[in-house]
């Protein structure tokens, strides 16, 4: 066959009727715009003019988008697709001619190259912010529009119409070129660069002005958004250097918790989470749904293409042009269309997943902010009386907000909601045990309380059984319904239809049934007062007044002491003043200026408070004392000296930079109490409230604190001080005294007033004061011994420090977490699998293998059945044999689906029960030092979030992983059997998958660890806040703690957001690699060989199933990520 642009026929060069009347010259004319663009743009791209002219200095150079950016990318991709169709049509048409006619497809090839060059050129010009050079593109689209219009007109004049494929393709290209020309005109209109004026100054987005923002998905171009190309640097660099918080940076402003809280919060409306979701996140939910529906619609292209490929009816025609019907009957064309449809389907599907998860993260941030605001407004009685517990708070933060986040992604998670009732009760009991662990160990009651937790755990497991049953039924129906549908369809067809079952009909229907799998699976007085209470009745929420008839005044700038017997209401009086109790009657007035103000209008930074029960932050000693105030070295030293803290600080390993937990790591009760008092003294406030600060102190420490801290440090500053105490010897220093009895005020006034009005009470106090003075004299004689003890204690602590340095890698949970960048934790996998019992493990493996063997046998039997009829044209007499065998195999497959689903969930429940039992016993039986050095939030996280992963996430992921793995293995076997040439493509496919997972798994493990390690401070912050509500509100530090919560939430969300983007990065690359090699193997194998249509169709079907199965790679990664939580619980 000779090679010529217009063919070897002399008539092809005939121009007697005019140049434009010759189709070959018209096609040649269409080459001019493409050659023009390549001639202009290639020098610019290679020289790098645009990039060197950049006026934008920023850490990321794709933030700038010209007007119509996304529309341009969409139109360009559409034009590329039309060019592919034009190339295919030209090649098929050329194959019908005796000589080679390059003009039929060469302009289309050049058009494809030029269109690709145009988008590359545009990207470089856009990133360099040099729009003048876009004038070349404008000229190109004008020229292309004109030449294509001429071609379309000539086709119309020749009598061609919409029934001719070439006419339709040319018409579509005219429209697309016209739209792209309109986009360029809009850029000229907005940027005004056509007369070579300087481009308008464009500011980068506010997010990218902050160099800490590293999540670039909202700012990159459309192609990078679809392929997550911007993640390449992070994924590759993770193999050399661990990913840390600096590498992932901050969240963009639109995704931060405070932004989404403002969107979702409607304070003047009836609270409704559904209304808040709709108002705040309705648009992204709609966008995600649109992407998902488009992906589902494209999924039907698979069965249609398979039907055409297998059927492959050749048609004889002498026409030089192709109709759409003839074009779509070509098997190679259908293979290319199937490849493009699957690529586009997966792109839309991954876009839907990303938008959904991003919306879920935004929803979670808003919910956490709402929950925290609610906690800050909780009455102390809610916590003290058990109406709200730390277990419930941990459940809300660690589990239920995540459940709602995933609700947008997987609605079946709602089944897990009833389980949380028992989880809350279990966490409540666990929290009580951990708080009183020293007392339990003293009385050896660990096993008694463990038994109580285990009883609640059994109730939780009973509820989990229902959840597991629903899950197993879902898995069973997911696998069994397609088999049952296939059985019913083909058996009905065999007996109800008079026609034989053909391979094209059978395997197109079979691929259509496989599409069902994924949707089913995802189913005041003359004396100025600071505080005054008039006719006050206060309650803890029960309706009964705890404090009655309270009429008191607290003088400004003086020392007021509140005394009385234990349980008389002294602490409650302070809490009522602070607004922590419910006011039944009366009012609390604060005088912070010239006029008194009601309780709710007091100055937010006017009060310092030290509770009777010490509360510490999980921070350093210095941070606990300063409590957010600026550090003043002189004031800090004066406070620590006044509270006798300096000797204790000197004994700590790192001095005042030693980290102490929410319960005080390695600190005595007295040390914790003095740090809390030091916090109150350090704050520059007008009023200081101290609730029995001497209760945990020795007499000499109490005396030093009273003399140096209260009488000297506070009163010298003329600060108003309210002191609740049992140390009556200090009453002589009081300016005002309030005596309490049975929830009422017994006496109020100066000591001299009480001596005059109530002699009996004064004599009783005098007796107690003399007794306490005698105790003080005894303590003085022990001072020398105490000093010696302190030296011995210091030496002992130094020895302990040496031991801690040797064991810090294993025991010191407050040290920096060392990253274990190892391979897949197979030992942890084996630990989990064997926790369910060897019998269940064997039964699961055996039933899984048997089930997939039967499924392969079903498809093979169907291939044999259809091939037999297509070869021998056998009549109906032989149908009984094939129908009977097909029915038996389908019945066995359905039964094995039920067995495998129940086995996996049964094994998961057993493993969850045993692992929780081992975890509880290891924790409760641990040494006291473990509880002194481990934050309570970390332990509760093991019993909440990590246990939830083991209970509800790992079993279905394990089932999906095994199912996907066995499906891929069986598909490789069957495809290799039916199309041996596939083994040639399997080698590069395996190499590509190996390197992709090699880089991804390291990055995924780092991001998963960041997600887990950033969640722990968030949980600790919630529990710290709940325990220190009174102190936080007394200091008026709600805003600072709320800001800290928002920062911790954003830090945790950015880690999870990067993890989600990394998963999408993996999916895009593995799925597209599969599709590339699928098309290559199909074309090398000649698609479907004549005479073996059943086996060929079976090969194409398994290709389609593997490409449809986008979960295998993700399940391996999800399982690897979940194992981090499992590993923490196992060890």
Write out pLDDT tens, residues 144-165.
999 989 888 888 887 787 778 8
Angle between helices 1111-1130 and 826-835 (to 10 degrees): 80
- Look at residue 53 and tell me if it is in a domain: yes
pLDDT (tens digit per residue) in 539-582: 887 668 888 888 888 888 888 999 988 888 888 888 888 888 88
Per 3-state DSSP, what percentage of the chain is helix, strand, and coil (rounded to 5)? 70, 5, 25
CA distance 617 to 1024: 7
Nearest to 274 by CA among 286, 282, 283: 282
**Both structure tokens of 890:** 């389908």
854 neighbors 888 (Cβ within 8 angstroms): no
What is the average pLDDT score of the chain? 74
Instruction: Note the helical H segments in 942-981.
Output: 947-948, 954-978
- Look at residue 454 and tell me if it is in a domain: no
**Both structure tokens of 475:** 């898995």
942 neighbors 1129 (Cβ within 8 angstroms): yes
- Look at residue 912 and tell me if it is in a domain: no
Residue 140: per-residue pLDDT:
93
CA distance 941 to 193: 58
* Residues near 891 by beta carbon (within 8 Å), at least 6 away in sequence: 487
Name the one residue in this structure whose structure tokens are 């981090």.
1124
* pLDDT surpasses 70 at 899: yes
Is the pTM above the cut of 0.75? Answer: no
Range of the domain at 165: 3-204
CA distance 449 to 923: 13
- Look at residue 81 and tell me if it is in a domain: yes
Percent pLDDT > 90 in the chain is 6
Helix (H) or strand (E) holding 464: helix 446-496
Residue 55: per-residue pLDDT:
42
Task: Taking residues 599-622, report their average pLDDT.
Answer: 72
pLDDT (tens digit per residue) in 297-346: 787 776 667 666 655 544 455 555 667 677 777 777 777 777 788 788 88
User: Which pLDDT band holds residue 10 (cuts at 50, 70, 90)?
Assistant: low
Total count of domains within the chain? 1
Residue 48: per-residue pLDDT:
59
- Look at residue 154 and tell me if it is in a domain: yes
CA distance 702 to 692: 11
Residue 80: per-residue pLDDT:
92
* Residues near 1037 by beta carbon (within 8 Å), at least 6 away in sequence: 627, 628
Helix (H, G, I), strand (E, B) or coil at 564: strand
Which of 622-636, 911-925, 1035-1049, 1108-1122 shows the lowest mean pLDDT across its residues? Answer: 1108-1122
pLDDT (tens digit per residue) in 787-804: 444 444 444 444 544 444
- Look at residue 89 and tell me if it is in a domain: yes
CA distance 374 to 1038: 12
Residue 114: per-residue pLDDT:
93
**Both structure tokens of 1061:** 């983007």
CA distance 1068 to 344: 11
* pLDDT surpasses 50 at 954: yes
Query: Phi first, then psi: what are they for 907, rounded to 5°?
Result: -65, -40
- Look at residue 418 and tell me if it is in a domain: no
Which letter, b or e, does each residue of 658-670 get, where b requires 16 or more Cβ atoms within 10 Å of its Cβ? bbbbbbbbbbeeb
Residue 306: per-residue pLDDT:
65
Name the one residue in this structure whose structure tokens are 């040439």.
981
Which of 399-413, 867-881, 1024-1038 shows the lowest mean pLDDT across its residues? Answer: 867-881
Cα pseudo-dihedral 17, 21, 25, 29, rounded to 10: 130
Cα pseudo-dihedral 1008, 1013, 1018, 1019, rounded to 10: 100
* Residues near 1089 by beta carbon (within 8 Å), at least 6 away in sequence: 1095, 1096
Residue 116: per-residue pLDDT:
92
Nearest to 882 by CA among 867, 897, 902: 867
**DSSP 8-state code for residue 133:** G
- Look at residue 1041 and tell me if it is in a domain: no
Helix (H, G, I), strand (E, B) or coil at 659: strand
**Both structure tokens of 223:** 């192609």
Residue 1084: per-residue pLDDT:
44
């Amino acid at each position: 066959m000779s090679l010529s642009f217009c063919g070897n026929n002399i008539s092809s060069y005939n121009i007697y009727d005019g140049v434009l009347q010759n189709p070959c010259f018209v096609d040649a004319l269409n080459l001019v715009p493409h050659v023009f663009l390549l001639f202009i743009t290639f020098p610019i791209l290679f020289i790098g003019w645009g990039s060197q002219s950049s006026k934008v200095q920023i850490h990321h150079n794709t933030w700038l988008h010209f007007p119509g950016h996304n529309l341009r990318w969409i139109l360009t991709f559409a034009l590329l697709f039309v060019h592919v169709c034009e190339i295919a049509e030209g090649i098929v048409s050329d194959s019908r001619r005796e000589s080679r006619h390059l003009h039929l497809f060469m302009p289309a090839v050049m058009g494809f190259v030029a269109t690709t060059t145009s988008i590359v050129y545009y990207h470089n010009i856009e990133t360099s912010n040099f729009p003048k050079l876009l004038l070349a593109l404008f000229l190109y689209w004008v020229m292309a529009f004109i030449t294509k219009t001429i071609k379309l007109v000539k086709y119309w004049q020749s009598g061609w119409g919409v029934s001719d494929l070439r006419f339709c393709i040319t018409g579509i290209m005219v429209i697309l070129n016209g739209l792209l020309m309109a986009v360029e005109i809009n850029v000229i209109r907005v940027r005004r660069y056509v007369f070579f004026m300087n481009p308008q100054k464009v500011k980068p987005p506010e997010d990218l002005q902050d160099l800490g923002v590293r999540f670039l998905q909202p700012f990159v171009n459309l192609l990078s958004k679809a392929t997550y190309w911007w993640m390449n640097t992070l994924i590759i660099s993770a193999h050399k250097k661990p990913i840390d918080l600096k590498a992932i940076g901050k969240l963009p402003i639109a995704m931060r918790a405070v932004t989404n809280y403002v969107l979702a919060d409607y304070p003047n409306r009836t609270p409704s989470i559904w209304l808040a979701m709709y108002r705040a996140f309705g648009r992204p939910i709609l966008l995600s749904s649109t992407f998902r529906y488009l992906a589902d619609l494209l999924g039907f292209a698979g069965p249609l293409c398979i039907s055409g490929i297998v059927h492959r009816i050749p048609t004889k025609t002498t026409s030089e042009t192709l109709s759409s019907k003839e074009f779509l009957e070509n098997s190679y064309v259908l293979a290319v269309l199937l490849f493009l449809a699957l690529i586009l389907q997966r792109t839309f599907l991954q876009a839907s997943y990303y938008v959904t998860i991003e919306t879920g993260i935004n929803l979670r941030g808003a919910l956490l902010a709402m929950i925290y605001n609610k906690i800050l407004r909780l009455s102390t009685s809610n916590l003290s009386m058990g109406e709200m517990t730390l277990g419930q708070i941990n459940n809300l933060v660690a589990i239920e907000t995540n459940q709602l986040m995933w609700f947008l992604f997987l609605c079946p998670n709602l089944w897990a909601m009833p389980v949380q009732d028992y989880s809350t009760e279990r966490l409540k009991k666990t929290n009580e045990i951990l708080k009183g662990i020293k007392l339990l160990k003293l009385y050896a009651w660990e096993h008694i309380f463990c038994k109580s937790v285990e009883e609640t755990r059994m109730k939780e497991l009973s509820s989990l059984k229902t959840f597991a049953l629903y899950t197993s039924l879902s898995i069973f129906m997911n696998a069994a319904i397609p088999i049952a549908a296939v059985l019913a369809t083909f058996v009905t067809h065999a007996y109800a239809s008079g026609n034989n079952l053909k391979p094209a009909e059978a395997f197109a229907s079979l691929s259509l049934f496989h599409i069902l799998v994924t949707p089913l699976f995802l189913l005041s007085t003359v004396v100025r007062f600071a505080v005054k209470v008039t006719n006050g009745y206060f309650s803890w929420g029960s309706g009964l007044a705890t404090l009655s008839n309270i009429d008191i005044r607290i003088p400004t700038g003086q020392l007021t002491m509140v005394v009385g017997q234990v349980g008389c209401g002294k602490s409650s009086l302070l809490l009522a003043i602070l607004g922590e109790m419910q006011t039944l009657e009366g009012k609390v007035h604060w005088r912070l200026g010239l006029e008194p103000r009601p309780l709710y209008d007091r100055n937010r930074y006017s009060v310092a408070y030290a509770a009777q029960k010490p509360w510490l932050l999980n921070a350093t000693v210095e941070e606990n004392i300063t409590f957010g105030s600026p550090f003043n070295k002189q004031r800090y030293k004066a406070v620590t000296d006044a509270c006798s803290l300096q000797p204790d600080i000197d004994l700590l390993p790192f001095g005042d930079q030693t980290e102490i937990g929410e319960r005080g790591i390695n600190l005595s009760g007295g040390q914790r109490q003095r740090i809390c008092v030091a916090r109150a003294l350090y704050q520059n406030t007008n009023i200081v409230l101290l609730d029995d600060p001497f209760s945990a102190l020795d007499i000499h420490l109490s005396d030093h604190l009273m003399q140096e801290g209260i009488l000297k440090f506070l009163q010298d500053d003329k600060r108003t001080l309210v002191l609740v105490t049992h140390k009556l010897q200090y009453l002589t220093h009081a300016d005002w005294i309030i005596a309490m009895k049975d929830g009422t005020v017994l006496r109020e006034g100066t000591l001299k007033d009480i001596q005059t009005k109530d002699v009996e009470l004064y004599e009783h106090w005098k007796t107690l004061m003399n007794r306490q003075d005698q105790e003080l004299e005894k303590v003085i004689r022990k001072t020398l011994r105490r000093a010696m003890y302190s030296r011995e204690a210091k030496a002992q602590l130094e020895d302990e420090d040496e031991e801690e340095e040797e064991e810090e890698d294993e025991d010191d949970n407050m040290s920096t977490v060392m990253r274990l960048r190892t391979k897949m934790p197979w030992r942890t996998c084996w630990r989990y699998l064997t926790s369910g019992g060897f019998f269940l493990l064997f039964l699961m493996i055996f039933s899984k293998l048997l089930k997939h063997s039967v499924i392969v046998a079903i498809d093979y039997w169907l291939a044999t059945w259809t091939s037999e009829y297509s070869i021998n044209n056998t009549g109906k007499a032989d149908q009984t044999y094939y129908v009977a065998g097909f029915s038996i195999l389908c019945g066995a497959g359905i039964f094995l689906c039920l067995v495998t689903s129940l086995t996996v969930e049964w094994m998961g429940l057993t493993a969850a029960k045993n692992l929780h039992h081992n975890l509880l016993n290891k924790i409760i039986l641990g040494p006291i030092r473990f509880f002194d050095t481990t934050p309570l939030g970390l332990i509760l996280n093991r019993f909440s979030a990590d246990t939830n992963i083991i209970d509800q996430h790992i079993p279905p992921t394990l089932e999906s992983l095994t199912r996907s793995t066995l499906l891929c293995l069986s598909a490789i076997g069957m495809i290799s059997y039916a199309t041996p040439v596939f083994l040639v493509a399997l080698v590069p496919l395996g190499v590509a998958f190996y390197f992709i997972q090699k880089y991804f798994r390291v990055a995924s493990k780092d991001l998963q660890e960041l997600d887990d390690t950033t969640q722990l401070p968030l949980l600790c912050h919630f529990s710290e806040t709940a325990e220190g509500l009174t102190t936080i509100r007394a200091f008026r530090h709600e805003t600072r703690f709320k800001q800290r919560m928002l920062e911790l939430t954003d830090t945790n969300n950015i880690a999870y957001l990067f993890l989600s983007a990394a998963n999408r990065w993996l999916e895009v690359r593995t799925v597209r690699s599969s599709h590339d090699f699928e098309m290559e193997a199909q074309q090398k194998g000649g698609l479907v060989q004549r005479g073996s249509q059943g086996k060929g169709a079976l090969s194409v079907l398994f290709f389609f199933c593997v490409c449809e199965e986008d979960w295998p790679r993700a399940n391996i990664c999800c399982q690897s990520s979940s194992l981090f939580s499992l590993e923490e619980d196992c060890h």
